[in-house]
Amino acid sequence: MRKKIFIITAFLTGVLLMTSCLKDKVGLYWPSSLSGKAYAEIWNGGFATFATAPSTDTVVNKFLINIASDQPLTEDVTLRLKVNPAAVLRYDSLNNADYSLFPYIKLIDSVIVIPAGSINAYCHVKIWNTDASHMDPCAHVMVPISIYSASGGVIVADANNMGSRLWGIQLSSNPYSGNYLVNGYRIRLGVDYPISNVEDNLTVVACNAVMSHQFGDYPYYVKITVTNTTMTVLGVTCNACIVDVINPADGSPLAAGYGQYTTFTGDPAEPPLPLSNDVNYYNPVTQTFVLNAYYNASGSTPRSMYEVLQRQ
């Protein structure tokens, strides 16, 4: 059994060496021009997407560093790595992209020693604050980690290619989607139609938009787009929202017309009582939407609603 394990391990090591080609056309052999040389690279390096959930929690990811050579290492190799903002700028320039540096990064393994006789090791990177209060969910942000030096004459691969891991962070879900408890009312012809502790699952529409599946007690949908425009509500910096009333029959904006109020317009005696006159905003601290909008009714007065949606 030990012999079989050794043969399999040797075969995988051989494949790793042969296919580790620094994106040159090495093929199934090591060209004579590279004979005796060794390169420090990141396995499948360059740009890759890093999917993570919106959260303040710490997330640790890892990537494999490889020494590519036609000869086994006869001495330890010390590699030094760093967060490399210049790689973001170069990537944007070469690819006509608009990435920026993600600010919440900690490189756990800034120095890695690959022992003689081995060819690879893992590098670990920590990120945090991918929630809506720290990160624009529509922004293009990158975690750029590069090898910048290697001992023993080992050559470091190009920092914008195999010498770096360029992680483009992609949120695995919209930070505003999820289950909410809704309280509020719809006003029709001067009469309040209240809703109390109704659950609504806000679904993803876009990176910064969700869909509510009720307009007060009425089955129109409400698309909520969270903007980068901020407003201060009772001392808290909140995000202004755009509200669109949607006809669920065809998923399009209501043909009869609709709008949203700029200050509280509702029944001051009907709960939930407004804490301020501010409306149509998202509070990232309490994870609450406060909405105040209306839709037009043919031959009649508009129907209005006031809702407070609290994330569960």
pLDDT at 13 over 70: no
pLDDT of residue 101: 96
Residue 171 or 116, more confident: 116
pLDDT of residue 86: 95
Mean residue pLDDT across the chain: 87
Give the lowest-confidence range in 9-23, 46-60, 85-99, 147-161.
9-23
pLDDT of residue 21: 44
Return the SS3 of 10. Answer: helix
Return the SS3 of 85. Answer: helix
Q: Are residues 136 and 44 in the same domain?
A: yes
Q: Are residues 288 and 229 in the same domain?
A: yes
Sign (positive or negative) of CA dihedral 111, 116, 118, 119? positive
Task: Look at residues 140, 171, 202 and tell me which one is the last residue of a structural domain.
Answer: 171
pLDDT of residue 5: 36
- Distance (Å, whole) CA 54 – CA 127: 11
Q: What percent of the chain has pLDDT over 70?
A: 89
Q: What is the pLDDT of residues 230-258, one digit of tens each?
A: 999 999 999 999 999 999 999 999 998 99
Q: Are residues 50 and 148 in the same domain?
A: yes
State the distance between the two ends of the chain, measured CA to CA, in whole angstroms.
54
> Do residues 229 and 240 lie in contact, with contact meaning Cβ atoms separated by under 8 Å?
yes
Containing 11, the helix (H) or strand (E) segment is helix 2-19
Q: What is the pLDDT of residues 172-198, one digit of tens each?
A: 778 899 999 999 999 999 999 999 999
What residue numbers bound the domain in which 184 lies? 178-311
Sign (positive or negative) of CA dihedral 164, 165, 170, 175? negative
Residue 280 counted as domain residue:
yes
Q: Name the residue type at position 215.
A: F
pLDDT of residue 296: 93
pLDDT at 204 over 60: yes
CATH, residue 121:
2.60.40.1740
Residue 195 or 1, more confident: 195
Chain centre to alpha carbon of residue 17? 34
Task: Look at residues 119, 147, 171 and tell me which one is the last residue of a structural domain.
Answer: 171
CB atoms within 10 A of CB 286: 13
Q: Are residues 33 and 111 in the same domain?
A: yes
Q: What is the pLDDT of residues 27-46, one digit of tens each?
A: 344 455 566 789 999 998 99
Task: Look at residues 171, 186, 207 and tell me which one is the last residue of a structural domain.
Answer: 171
> Do residues 147 and 82 lie in contact, with contact meaning Cβ atoms separated by under 8 Å?
no
Strand partners for 303: 295
pLDDT of residue 70: 85
Is residue 221 very low, low, confident or very high in pLDDT (cuts 50, 70, 90)? very high
